A = this chain, B = another copy of it.
Amino acid sequence: MSKLPLRAKSYRILRPYMENQAGEWPSRLFDTCLIVLILANAIAMMLETVPDIAHRWGTALGIFDTLSVTIFTIEYITRVWCCVENPETKHAEKSLFKQRLHYMLSPMAIVDLIAILPFYLGMFINLDLRVLRILRLTRLIKLGRYSHSIQLLWQVLRNESRTLFAAMSVLVIIMTFAATGIYYLEREQQPEVFGSIPNAMWWALVTLTTLGYGDVIPVTPMGKVFSGLVTLLGVTLYALPAGILSSSFTAQLHIRRERFRALVNDAMADGYLTDNDYHHIEKIRELLYLDKEEAELIVQLLKHRQDGHSEPTDDDSLG
């Protein structure tokens, strides 16, 4: 099937588990190892900042970092090399180079690169080590490749990004009003914390997010009354992002359910479901992350209809 069996084999191992439902063991093993390595890296990075541990195990942690970078580098190069085996883009008219360039510009490939680049930059150029260390955290994002749910969450966040951004803007505007109000009411009593609006912003943030550290508290009666009104308002507006995400989630599931229904309907166009159809439906259900119980119900209702129950009174719409 492929001129380069090794490249094709590498691709099959490297592509994330969820795409190969057949569940070949080398691919599964590779995924598990990589997930463990990523988590170990994150823990190592944290422990490195504890003076005691850095003193004792510094060398070991350094070696582990070098080793990890080596593995991630090999992974990255292999991914770029065998990305041309991707069946979705394989038969495109593009040259191998263009396909690889296209892959290298995909978000996950960039994350892979950023996860290793600082190490090599640090070797050649004399950069601030701080920034390099923070960039090592991007290795954690590599985990996203292995979780259906994280990708679904990501999609919901991206879909609603504009609305969420607007909600955030509203929160920031309300925060500005709150800070301005409390500044005028409390600046004489507590000049050190409410001495300017930027200072009062800290109080507004801590209050509107219901954090309530307790380091900055209004003391004048008017300040307390104003603070109460602002908090009650804040509570309501706080609910907005939750409502937006919630309704987006429900809408997402709705769209998926509808798509599934349409597909099952098509599969039953010939009047019955073959074993092949069942296999196909199961696969689609997994791709759309649908609940098993729910999917079963949809199939049953559609089958019920097919079996001669097509009088108008029988439309068990799932909507």
Which chain A residues have a beta carbon within 8 Å of chain B's beta carbons?
Answer: 42, 45-47, 49-51, 130, 133-134, 137, 140-141, 143, 147-150, 152-153, 159, 162-173, 176-177, 179-181, 183-184, 195-199, 201-202, 205-207, 209-215, 217, 224, 227-228, 231-232, 235-236, 238-251, 253, 255, 258-259, 261-262, 265, 291, 293-294, 297, 301, 304-306, 310-319
Contact = CB atoms under 8 A, between A and B. Distances in A.
16 contacts: A46-B201, A150-B169, A152-B163, A167-B236, A168-B232, A205-B228, A205-B231, A210-B211, A214-B214, A238-B242, A239-B246, A243-B249, A246-B246, A315-B315, A317-B317, A319-B319
A155 B127 CA distance: 50
Nearest to A219: B215
A162 B184 contact: no
A2 to B, nearest CB: 34
A211 B291 CA distance: 34
A88 B51 CA distance: 62
Given A173-B143, A212-B206, A235 B238 contact: yes
Nearest to A258: B297
A191 B125 CA distance: 29
